[in-house]
Structure 1
Amino acid sequence: MTTFTPPPDTAAWQHLAVRTGFEVVCFRSPPDGYRVEGCTTAVEEGEAWVVDYVIELDSGWATRSARLESRSARARRHIVLEADGAGHWRVDGAPASWLDGCLDVDLESSALTNAFPVHRLRLGVGAASPAPAAFVRAADLAVERLEQHYARLPDDGGRQRYDYAAPVFDVACRLTYDESGLVLDYPGLAIRAA
């Protein structure tokens, strides 16, 4: 089983290729899990946008809530996702049955959220698992179901590696993580800056 060191107080990623921008997060450790407060600012396809978020995770790293706000020249939006930790969700207070079975939130605007299933699953080398997620779009905060899959590879120089796939986006790549289980390199999307 995989073990991780505690997350750092802060982390940051520089976005590449798909968008130009930056993400910064701060970790808090209440007694019953983690609270992540973050912000991504980016320019994508000529449009500048900002997404602020606060995500609450239980002690097993399953998402319990996510509060997001996006701002762009077109609009300002807010959304609240709540999860019971057993795969049932509410979006802005309404049941979201299309997310049944998801235990993680995955933000399109974030490199951080790929840490959640890795922490929650704690896969040993050679193990693999599906990890469907409540996927939140950056521009309009639309919530979709995202089917994704993680497969643990042997470590490389102390860095954990996973083959990651999200077929709906035609994404298949190798993600590299640090000892605290945060993404160091997401090919074509982001690299860890701090």
Structure 2
Amino acid sequence: MCDLPVAWTRVDDARGTAVGALVPERSGHRIEGGETAADGGGVYSCRFTVRTDLAWATRSVHVEVLSSTGVRTMDVTCRAGLWTVDGERRPLLDGCTDVDIAATPLTHTLPIRRLGLRRGEHRDISAVWISVPDLRVSRVSQRYTRLEPTGDGRARYEYRAADHGYEISVDHEGLVIDHQDLYERVP
């Protein structure tokens, strides 16, 4: 498993970059990452840690954001299928397995690895969506469909949510290489 960082540049705004790493742990997996952006939403920096169990189900998330409103942090946890945000129970999130942090392509790795889809197969999931830089939390329905691989053999997926969708290609670890119209891996 890759514990070296990978980097992405924002395709939609050249003033944005993201970096992240997938790190194996004894009881599961950890993703570490961040993004710095200067887009229509203002200038911000986001740093996060997501921990999963061995089956890639999210167990805890820590997010820090530096923006024009100052420094804000958030902790999200899931224990026995019950979610809390900064220690407060959020029953609306119960039943979610994954977290999707808006400031990174890295959290796509979680459902891609967890679902293990075959070509042509799709799965509908519910995820905890964390909006950045405002740190709003909501439940979102998502669909991942595994497509035919790219010409050079990279795995491809179609991602769909209620208000948007795109294609992504990933490496053998499930780390995003190309995120249609938003991110591109830096070689």
TM above 0.5, yes or no, is yes
Q: Is 1:191 the counterpart of 2:184 in the alignment?
A: yes
Q: SS of the residue aligned with 1:113?
A: helix
The one-letter code matched in structure 1 to 2:111 is: P
Q: Which residue does 1:160 correspond to in 2?
A: 155
Deviations 1:98-132 (A, max 9, x none): 11211111011111111111111001112110122
Q: Is 1:172 the counterpart of 2:165 in the alignment?
A: yes
Residue 7 of structure 1: how far off its partner (Å): 2.9
Which structure 1 segments of 5+ residues have no match?
A: 1-5
Which structure 2 segments of 5+ residues have no match?
A: none
Taking only the aligned residue pairs, the percentage that are identical comes to: 34
Residue 18 of structure 1: how far off its partner (Å): 5.6
Deviations 1:164-188 (A, max 9, x none): 1011xx2122211111111111111
TM-score, normalised to structure 2's length? Answer: 0.93
Q: CA separation of 1:129/1:46 partners in 2, compared to 1, >3 Å: closer, same or farther? A: closer
Larger relative contact order (Cα-Cα within 8 Å, sequence gap ≥ 6): 1
Q: Which residue does 1:33 correspond to in 2?
A: 28
Residue 42 of structure 1: how far off its partner (Å): 0.5
Residue 19 of structure 1: how far off its partner (Å): 7.1
Asked if structure 2 preserves the Cα contact closer than 8 Å seen for 1:19 and 1:45, the reply is no
> Which portions of structure 1, spanning 4 or more consecutive aligned residues, are displaced by more than 3 angstroms?
none
TM-score, normalised to structure 1's length? Answer: 0.90
| Matched ranges for 1:84-99 at <5 A | 84=79, 87-99=81-93
Asked if structure 1 preserves the Cα contact closer than 8 Å seen for 2:27 and 2:53, the reply is yes
